[in-house]
């Protein structure tokens, strides 16, 4: 196997027509071409030298093979600012740490109080604009809603959601703007440290207390480890679910027949959630580090370089999903999507994300009669690493 020659690296910004965080409207035509002509492409520009894998079967096989594709690849991106967390741990260490937080996000734990809280947050937000006949559902609803829910589960009293949310977003932009990422990480820690001190003195029935009391191999987690969990969970929950909710709304509001089906039969909302996860995956790429020289589809990924598994492309692979660019509630294999990743690092918050989306979209459709996109303002789903509508101007009533 030969190594990739220096001149073989494509410029990722040129390939996609923008940086990793830019609002690119359509990366899918690039992916279609790559899947057909160059299913593994060496790139430079976004992060270190990296190799993007775009076909469904290759993405699933790679994410399954944790020995060859190590999650420590995450240490070079988001790990730089959130510290060492389960996202970059492997094997037994990963299992021991992930186990601390898994129970809080199980379907059983979410039923009841959390579910009620999600209902309450949805309706409080809708109350603020329901009488106005118009709104932009991104800033006024989808954007702020998941962070509020997560803050409640974690037991982190956030007084200024807007400011906190901007830190969460700056944090995940680290590959694109490191200075902003590090500044945001510091702001989050400065904000959270006094809350941790307070909770140590008076434990509560919340995840923060669980983290402060958690032991791994007989030892309490250190403060850095607790802060790491918070720096991971808050953006992971806040920065992703809002995108899913926005894209579901966009899909339904631009497809009246499918929206009518959802309104006639609420069970169809689950189909809309799964099909949106496939069709407009909120998180489009998952990074790993090659632990040895490895060949995929005839291309070599050299040891130590990053493998970028393009889940957003895999979910549009015509080899797996017929007519993949079409949004179709009735698609039989839509749940084969890999929008929550695959294997050991499969998303911890998948049940919470689905529950939030289900409750939020149902509440909006029920409370805002004749909900429709504002014909005088355009909008669409945008992004490369993350995708969602950047605005959703609507009218109703
Ligand atoms: C639609 C919403 C969401 C999407 C699309 C999504 C997507 C993903 C993906 C693709 C991964 C795999 C990362 C990798 O393999 O490197 C992941 C992991 C993770 N997600 Fe989510 N996520 C969502 C919501 C949430 C929520 C609400 C939480 C709240 C706690 C969360 C917490 C996590 C955590 C902690 C991990 C790391 C798991 C591990 O490394 O073992 N996610 N997510």
CATH number of the domain where residue 321 is located: 1.10.630.10
User: Does residue 292 lie within any of the structural domains?
Assistant: yes
CA dihedral for 236, 383, 342, 39, sign (positive or negative) = negative
Least confident range of 51-55, 144-148, 358-362, 386-390: 144-148
* Mean pLDDT to the nearest integer, 258-284: 97
- For residue 101, report the distance from its CA to the centre of ligand 1, in Å: 13
> Nearest residue CA, atom 6 of ligand 1?
340
Secondary structure of the chain as H, E, C letters: CCCCCHHHCEEHHHHHCCCCCCCCCCCHHHHHHHHHHCCEEEEECCCCCEEEECCHHHHHHHHHCCCCEEHHHHHHCCHHHHCCCCCCCCHHHHHHHHHHHHHHHCHHHHCCHHHHHHHHHHHHHHHCCCCCCEEEHHHHHHCCHHHHHHHHHHCCCCCCHHHHHHHHHHHHCCCCCHHHHHHHHHHHHHHHHHHHHHHHHCCCCCHHHHHHHCEECCEECCHHHHHHHHHHHHHHHHHHHHHHHHHHHHHHHCCHHHHHHHHHCCCHHHHHHHHHHHHCCCECCEEEEECCCEEECCEEECCCCEEEECHHHHCCCCCCCCCCCCCCCCCCCHHHCCCCCCHHHCCCCHHHHHHHHHHHHHHHHHHCCCCEECCCCCCCEECCCECEECCCEEECC
**What span, in angstroms and rounded, lies between the C-alpha atoms of 334 and 359?**
21
CA terminus-to-terminus distance, the chain = 64
* Mean pLDDT to the nearest integer, 252-259: 97
Q: What local confidence, expressed as pLDDT, does residue 5 receive? A: 65
> Nearest residue CA, atom 38 of ligand 1?
345
Q: Does 124 have pLDDT greater than 50?
A: yes
Q: Which of 348, 355, 361 to mutate to test the pocket of ligand 1 (most atoms within 8 A of CB)?
A: 348
The residue ranking higher by pLDDT, 47 or 189, is 189
User: Does residue 212 lie within any of the structural domains?
Assistant: yes
Best mean pLDDT range from 80-94, 128-142, 230-244 = 128-142
* Mean pLDDT to the nearest integer, 343-366: 97
> Residue 162's pLDDT band (boundaries 50, 70, 90)?
confident
Is any ligand 1 atom within 6 A of the Cβ of residue 347?
A: yes
Q: Does 2 have pLDDT greater than 70?
A: no
Q: What local confidence, expressed as pLDDT, does residue 7 receive? A: 59
Is any ligand 1 atom within 6 A of the Cβ of residue 282?
A: yes
Q: Does 28 have pLDDT greater than 70?
A: yes
**Backbone angles phi and psi of 255, in degrees to 5:** -135, 80
* Mean pLDDT to the nearest integer, 342-346: 97
Q: Does 313 have pLDDT greater than 70?
A: yes
- For residue 263, report the distance from its CA to the centre of ligand 1, in Å: 29
> Nearest residue CA, atom 31 of ligand 1?
349
* Mean pLDDT to the nearest integer, 281-288: 96
Q: Using CA atoms in the order 225, 241, 329, 64, what is the torsion angle rounded to 10 degrees?
A: -20
Q: How many residues does the chain have?
A: 397
* Mean pLDDT to the nearest integer, 245-258: 98
> Residue 3's pLDDT band (boundaries 50, 70, 90)?
low
> Nearest residue CA, atom 39 of ligand 1?
345
**What span, in angstroms and rounded, lies between the C-alpha atoms of 346 and 219?**
26
User: Does residue 70 lie within any of the structural domains?
Assistant: yes
> Nearest residue CA, atom 34 of ligand 1?
348
Q: What local confidence, expressed as pLDDT, does residue 80 receive? A: 82
Is any ligand 1 atom within 6 A of the Cβ of residue 360?
A: no
User: Does residue 235 lie within any of the structural domains?
Assistant: yes
Q: Does 246 have pLDDT greater than 70?
A: yes
> Residue 47's pLDDT band (boundaries 50, 70, 90)?
confident
pLDDT digits (tens, 9 = 90+) for 183-208: 988 998 999 999 999 999 999 989 99
The answer to whether the beta carbons of residues 341 and 334 sit under 8 Å apart is no
**What span, in angstroms and rounded, lies between the C-alpha atoms of 366 and 79?**
40
Nearest atom (ligand 1) to Cα of 343: 15
User: Does residue 121 lie within any of the structural domains?
Assistant: yes
User: Does residue 221 lie within any of the structural domains?
Assistant: yes
**What span, in angstroms and rounded, lies between the C-alpha atoms of 32 and 225?**
41
pLDDT over 70 for what percent of the chain? 98
Least confident range of 144-158, 247-261, 320-334: 144-158
Q: Does 366 have pLDDT greater than 60?
A: yes
Q: Does 261 have pLDDT greater than 70?
A: yes
User: Does residue 1 lie within any of the structural domains?
Assistant: no
> Residue 293's pLDDT band (boundaries 50, 70, 90)?
very high
- For residue 248, report the distance from its CA to the centre of ligand 1, in Å: 18
Work out the mean pLDDT of the chain and round it to a whole number.
Answer: 93
> Residue 1's pLDDT band (boundaries 50, 70, 90)?
very low
Residue 203's domain comprises: 6-395
Quote the distance between the C-alpha of residue 358 and its chain's center: 16
Is any ligand 1 atom within 6 A of the Cβ of residue 240?
A: yes
Nearest atom (ligand 1) to Cα of 341: 10
Q: What local confidence, expressed as pLDDT, does residue 241 receive? A: 95
* Mean pLDDT to the nearest integer, 304-308: 95
- Judged by DSSP in three states, 396 sits in coil
User: How many structural domains comprise the chain?
Assistant: 1
Nearest atom (ligand 1) to Cα of 281: 5
Q: Does 268 have pLDDT greater than 80?
A: yes
Least confident range of 5-19, 282-296, 369-383: 5-19
Residues 6+ apart with CB under 8 A from 329: 258, 261, 262, 268, 271, 272, 275
Least confident range of 36-40, 110-114, 132-136, 169-173: 169-173
**What span, in angstroms and rounded, lies between the C-alpha atoms of 94 and 352?**
21
Q: What local confidence, expressed as pLDDT, does residue 393 receive? A: 98
- For residue 274, report the distance from its CA to the centre of ligand 1, in Å: 15
Q: What local confidence, expressed as pLDDT, does residue 288 receive? A: 96
**What span, in angstroms and rounded, lies between the C-alpha atoms of 202 and 12?**
50
């Amino acid at each position: 196997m030969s190594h990739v020659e220096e001149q073989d690296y494509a410029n990722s910004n040129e390939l996609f027509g923008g940086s990793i965080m830019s609002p690119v409207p359509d990366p899918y035509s690039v992916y279609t071409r790559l899947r057909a002509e160059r299913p593994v492409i060496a790139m430079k520009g976004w992060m270190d030298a990296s190799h993007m894998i775009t076909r469904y079967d290759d993405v699933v096989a790679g994410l399954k093979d944790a020995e060859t594709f190590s999650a420590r690849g995450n240490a070079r991106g988001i790990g730089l600012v959130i510290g060492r967390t389960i996202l970059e741990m492997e094997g037994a260490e990963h299992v021991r740490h992930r186990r601390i937080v898994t129970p809080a996000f199980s379907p059983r734990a979410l039923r009841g109080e959390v579910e009620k809280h999600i209902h309450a947050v949805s309706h409080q937000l809708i109350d603020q604009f329901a009488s106005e006949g118009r709104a932009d559902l991104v800033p006024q609803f989808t954007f702020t809603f998941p962070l509020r829910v997560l803050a409640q589960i974690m037991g982190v009293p956030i007084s200024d959601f807007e400011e906190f949310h901007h830190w969460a977003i700056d944090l995940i932009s680290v590959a694109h703007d490191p200075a902003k990422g590090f500044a945001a990480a510091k702001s989050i820690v400065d904000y959270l440290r006094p809350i941790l001190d307070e909770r140590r003195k008076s434990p509560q029935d919340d995840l923060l207390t669980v983290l402060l009391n958690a032991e791994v191999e007989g030892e309490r987690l250190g403060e850095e480890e607790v802060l790491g969990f918070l720096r991971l969970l808050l953006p992971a929950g806040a920065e992703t679910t809002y995108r899913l909710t926005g894209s579901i709304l966009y899909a339904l509001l631009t497809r009246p027949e499918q929206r009518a089906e959802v309104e006639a039969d609420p069970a169809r909302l689950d189909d809309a959630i799964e099909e949106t996860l496939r069709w407009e995956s909120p998180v489009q790429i998952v990074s790993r580090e090659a632990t040895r020289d490895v060949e995929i589809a005839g291309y070599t990924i050299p040891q130590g370089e990053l493998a970028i598994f393009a889940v957003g492309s895999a979910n549009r692979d015509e080899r797996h999903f017929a007519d993949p660019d079409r949004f179709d509630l009735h698609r039989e294999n839509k749940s084969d999507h890999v929008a929550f990743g695959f294997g050991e690092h499969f998303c911890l918050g998948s049940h919470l994300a689905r529950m939030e989306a289900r409750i939020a979209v149902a509440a909006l459709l029920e409370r805002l009669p004749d909900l429709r996109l504002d014909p005088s303002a355009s909008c669409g789903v945008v992004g490369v690493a993350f995708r969602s509508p950047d605005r959703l101007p609507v009218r109703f009533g």
